[in-house]
Amino acid sequence: MKKIYLITFSLLSFLSFSQSSTFSIPSNSSIKLDDNNYELNSLGMFGLNIKNKSSYTIGVRVENKITGEFTFGFGLGPLGKERIVINKDDVVIFSNNTQKSVKLKTTYFIPLEKNKFISKETKSISFTLNNSSLKSIPLIIPNVMNPNLSPLSNSGVDLKIGQEIFFKNKGKKILLLRVSDKIKEGEIIDVNELIKKKTKK
| 3-state secondary structure (DSSP) of residue 180 | coil
Listed range (40-49, 173-182, 183-192) with the worst mean pLDDT: 40-49
Distance CA 39, CA 21 (A): 18
pTM of this structure = 0.55
Instruction: Give the helix/strand (H/E) hosting 92.
Output: strand 90-96
pLDDT tens digits for 67-115? 888 877 778 888 888 888 887 788 889 999 899 999 999 887 766 543 3
Domains and CATH numbers, the chain: 1-116 (2.60.120.10), 122-201 (2.60.40.780)
| 3-state secondary structure (DSSP) of residue 9 | coil
Q: With a cut of 50, say whether residue 166 has pLDDT above it.
A: yes
Angle (CA) 164-71-120 rounded to 5° is 80
What is the percent of the chain where pLDDT is above 90?
22
| Complete DSSP assignment for 33-89 | EE-TTS--TT-SEEEEEEEE-SSS-EEEEEEETTT--EEEEEEE-TT-EEEEEEETT
The strand pairing partners of 105, in sequence order, are 22, 51
